[in-house]
Each structure stands twice: as C-alpha cells, then as structure tokens.
C-alpha cells in the first residue's frame, strides 16, 4: 500500500480567561493537528503536547514528521511512536480518514456503542476560595463542576464552593499537589463537602502510599495512568482512572485502557487537555463507557473551530461528521 501523505502543524487557540492548575497557568491552548490523506480523502486529529511528561509542540511535530512516508496504516503506528501526543494525533487522523473513505462512522468501525450526549464537568481554575465560589455561582446553569486545587487552602476552597453551590455535583483535581501529611484531612473535608471524586491527590511517584489511605471519597488516577499496561499496578490503589487520549496514544489506546479498567472494576473518567473540539470529538465516543466525562475544553476557548461540538447547559453532544469521525 502506498503510504498516505502525512502533514502536521501547530495551532494556538486563545482562552476566555487564564486556566490555572497547581503547576502553572495558560492563556491559550497550544495544539498539534495532524492530517493524513490518501489523495481522495483526508482525516484529521488533534493532540496537546503534555509538558508534565516533557512534550513540546516542536517535539511532537518532529515525531510526526519523522514517521511520515513510512507509516501506511493506523495499525503500524505503535511500532514507531510511544503513547503520547504524536501517536494520538496520528491515530485519530487515521480513524477519521477511514471513516471519510468508507462512509462509516468511527464508533461503528471501532465496535463501540452509538455515541451519546452526556453532562461534562466544567472546570473552575485554581484561585482564592472566594473567587472560586463566585465562579461557581456564575456557572449556576451547570450541574457538574470540577475544582482545580493546589495544596494549601484546599479545605477552604472546597467548603467555599460547596456553600456557594449546594445544588452542584462536585469533583476535585489536586494535580499531585497534596502531601502524605495533608491527604487525610483533605479527604475528610472532601467527604464533608459531598465531593464525588478526588483526582490525583498525590504525586505519581507516591502511588504506593495510597495503600494506607482511607478512601472514603473515591480517588482517581490521572498523571499515574497512561495505558492499559498501567492498570494491574494501579487497580488496588485507585478507585477510578482518567482516560485521556493524549496519554493513551489515541482512540485505539484509550479503548484498550477503558476495557482493561472495566475488567478490574475501576470507574472511568474520560478527560482531555485544554483543546478544541477536534481533540474532544474522539474522546466523546467513549462517553457511554464513562462514569464521568471532563471534556469542557471547547467551553474554555475564546472561540472554537468550525463544526465545533454542541454544548448546551453543560451537556455535550457527539461530533458531526464534518468535524471528525
């Protein structure tokens, strides 16, 4: 088979306001878009280089261009690329190309259930407790909120948001900012506040410490989990995993991760980095498998790309074929 034409470019999409987590802030989504063409049809995929793992836009573009000309199918990608943003962008582009070429939606090609609309979490950036509470009130039309936390003062943040929004479902994401000394107290406060899920409280290299933690609120692995191969190590330490295509290496890797997590009776969050609808579209195909989805990237942008995902009062709908898949 003649190798398809592969191209890649970096794009910058401004945000409505700064997005702040424990590791820093950003004012724009910096993404990589890969396109794969067979001469008659073209598929696209979007990925976000993950600085936490040393990825950069230039490095991901270099990885994609390195394999261009010698990769002819989605099945061969994992031989040349490790799980990460480059593999995600190309994997999703090949799925999209196959859909465009056959006229069959990716959900059917992948053997997944019919895509469903689902309530997505909406993220409140890390800030002072009173500011986060105010943002929660401003989002009164949204029923599921995720609080970015940062360590010191997180008890006050959780209590302030809960007081401001007694009606809301709440998730929290510490992005590895809690410590062995604080985790017990902060889990107690999370339980007091009716938090549904705590995402990655401890640094990934302290996973084993969770053996001794009272998980009265379910704990979800994020930075600690990448692919299905991680699940055997994590299954006794966590209650849930955050499946992100940028970590898993695309839709193909994410499907394998979801299946292995379910086999081990773990709950599923499907998430994404801050990105446009093109990155969120493949992840939405896993929504029916998820206990929670956190796919609010398009809601955080100043403007989205053409044929973007439809979101109404926090409910996000499956992608149109004009966008992807």
Report the CATH number at residue 78: 3.30.390.10
Q: Do 285 and 162 fall within a single domain?
A: yes
Q: Do 302 and 153 fall within a single domain?
A: yes
Q: Do 87 and 228 fall within a single domain?
A: no
CA distances from 54 to 43, 49, 89, 128 (A): 27, 8, 17, 29
Give CA torsion, residues 84, 86, 92, 95, to 10 deg.
Answer: -110
Domain boundary among 103, 128, 163: 103
Domain boundary among 55, 72, 103: 103
User: What are residue 32's DSSP bridge partners?
Assistant: 10, 47
| Gap between the Cα atoms of 84 and 89, Å rounded | 9
DSSP string covering 219-248, please?
EEESTT--SGGGHHHHTTT-SEEEEEHHHH
- For the entire predicted model, the pTM comes to 0.95
On whether the CB atoms of residues 196 and 169 are closer than 8 A, the answer is yes
User: What are residue 270's DSSP bridge partners?
Assistant: 243, 293
Q: Do 308 and 165 fall within a single domain?
A: yes
Q: Is there a domain that residue 220 lies in?
A: yes
Q: Do 165 and 204 fall within a single domain?
A: yes
Q: Is there a domain that residue 180 lies in?
A: yes
Total number of domains constituting the chain: 2
On whether the CB atoms of residues 214 and 184 are closer than 8 A, the answer is yes
Domain boundary among 78, 103, 128: 103
Q: Do 81 and 198 fall within a single domain?
A: no
| Gap between the Cα atoms of 237 and 92, Å rounded | 31
Q: Is there a domain that residue 109 lies in?
A: no
Domain that holds residue 53: 5-103
Which residues form the catalytic set?
148, 244
pLDDT in tens, the chain (325 residues): 578 999 999 999 999 998 888 778 889 999 999 999 999 999 999 999 998 899 999 999 999 999 998 898 999 898 899 999 999 999 999 999 999 999 999 999 999 989 999 999 999 999 999 999 999 999 999 999 999 999 999 999 999 999 999 999 999 999 999 999 999 999 999 999 999 999 999 999 999 999 989 999 999 999 999 999 999 999 999 999 999 999 999 999 999 999 999 999 999 999 999 999 999 999 999 999 999 999 999 999 999 999 999 999 999 999 999 999 9
Q: Do 157 and 237 fall within a single domain?
A: yes
pLDDT of res. 1: 52
Q: Is there a domain that residue 110 lies in?
A: no
């Amino acid at each position: 088979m003649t190798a398809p034409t592969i191209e890649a470019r970096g794009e910058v999409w401004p945000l409505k306001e700064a997005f702040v987590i424990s590791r820093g802030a950003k004012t724009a989504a910096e993404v990589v878009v890969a396109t794969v063409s067979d001469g008659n049809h073209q598929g696209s995929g979007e990925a976000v280089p993950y600085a936490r793992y040393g990825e950069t836009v230039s490095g991901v573009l270099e990885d994609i261009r390195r394999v261009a000309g010698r990769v002819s199918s989605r099945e061969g990608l994992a031989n040349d690329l490790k799980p990460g943003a480059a593999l995600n962008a190309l994997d999703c582009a090949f799925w999209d190309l196959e859909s465009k070429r056959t006229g069959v939606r990716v959900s059917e090609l992948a053997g997944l259930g019919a895509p469903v609309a689902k309530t997505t979490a909406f993220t409140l950036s890390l800030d002072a407790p009173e500011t986060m509470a105010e943002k929660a009130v401003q989002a009164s039309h949204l029923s599921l909120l995720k609080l970015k936390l940062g360590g010191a003062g997180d008890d006050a943040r959780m209590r302030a948001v809960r007081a401001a929004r007694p009606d809301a479902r709440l998730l929290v994401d510490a992005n590895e900012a809690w410590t062995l000394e604080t985790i017990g107290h902060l889990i107690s406060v999370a339980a007091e506040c009716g938090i549904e899920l705590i995402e990655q409280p401890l640094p990934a290299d302290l996973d084993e410490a969770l053996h001794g933690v009272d998980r009265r609120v379910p704990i979800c692995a994020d930075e600690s989990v990448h692919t299905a191969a991680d699940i055997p190590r994590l299954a006794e330490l966590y209650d849930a995993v955050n499946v992100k295509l940028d970590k898993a290496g695309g839709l193909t890797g994410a499907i394998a991760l979801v299946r292995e997590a379910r086999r081990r009776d773990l709950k599923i969050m499907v998430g994404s980095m801050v990105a446009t609808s093109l990155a969120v579209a493949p992840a939405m195909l896993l929504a029916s498998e998820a206990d929670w989805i956190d796919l609010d990237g398009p809601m955080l942008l100043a403007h989205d790309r053409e044929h973007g995902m439809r979101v109404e009062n926090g409910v996000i709908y499956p992608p149109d074929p004009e966008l992807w898949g």
